[in-house]
Each structure stands twice: as C-alpha cells, then as structure tokens.
Amino acid sequence: MLVNNAGIGTASEIGQGCCDLERAVLEVNLFGAWHVAAAALPHLLETRGQVVSVASLLAVVTVPYSASKRGLCALGDTLRLEYGDRLAVTTVYPGYAATPIHGPAAERSGQSLAGIAPEETPQDAARAIERRPRDTANTWQGAVVLRA
C-alpha cells in the first residue's frame, strides 16, 4: 500500500506570494506524490496493491493551496483510469485538522475555520485510512472519503 500524505501549504493569494513558495507547494503536494506513485507502481501492480492519497477538504473550495490538492485528486483519478483493474485507488479529504501548520497560516491570512468545521487531528485522518477494508480493497475503488 502506498499512502500519499505529504503536504505543505501557504496562505498567500495568487499574485501576492513568492512564486518559489507556490512552486514548492506544487512540488511537494502534487509532483512528490506523482513521482512516488510512479516509482511504486511496478510493485503495486504486481501485488494488486492500493494507493491512498490524502488530499484536503480544501481541494473542493477555492484557496491557492487547493490547486495542489485538486491535482492530487486528479492523479488518483488518472491512476484509477489507467490501472483500476489491478490497483485500488482511494482519495481521502481530511477536514480542518489541528496541526502546527494550520494555526500560523490562518493567522497570517486573517482567516480561521474554527467554528465552521469540527476540528480533527491527524490521527483521525489516519484512522479513516486504516479502517479501509483490508481484503476487499475493490469496495473502496474510487472512493472519496470526506472528513468534514
């Protein structure tokens, strides 16, 4: 099983941030997952493995960070389209999580999700991944697990 769970973010608006920072977000959140999936693909196909990508609830709303997470969702769709007969692919969309990254980013942007969405922990998202059916991975084929 491959779990694509790397992620960094920025609270900058398009045109307001440094291009290097936005490029780093795309490199880690999207291209990092792409390269790891490509490297693991031969083994995953041979073993009829699984790919679980951890996107974000923010992939379905509009903030600059969304582009990288929407790309991760599209990567999962592409893997499913190309290899779905031999590979189970699932995308998990965790909601607002209490992490050291969120607080400072929200403060810088003047935004907060407190009171809008229930706060969860990274362990909550991990449990959603862990609870996937072990012997019946195909029942999760194409599943989108929203954690809002």
Q: Is the pLDDT of residue 61 over 80?
A: no
What the chain holds in terms of domains, given with CATH numbers, is 2-147 (3.40.50.720)
Catalytic residues: 65
* pLDDT band at 10; cut points 50, 70, 90: confident
* Top-confidence residue, 40 or 142: 40
Q: Are 51 and 60 in contact (CB under 8 A)?
A: no
**Dihedral (CA of 124, 125, 130, 135) sign:** positive
Name every residue whose Cβ is closer than 8 Å to that of residue 40 and which is 6 or more positions away in sequence: 2, 49, 51
104 vs 91, more confident: 91
Record the pTM.
0.68
pLDDT score of 147: 46
Q: Taking 90 as the threshold, does the pLDDT of residue 36 lie above it? A: yes
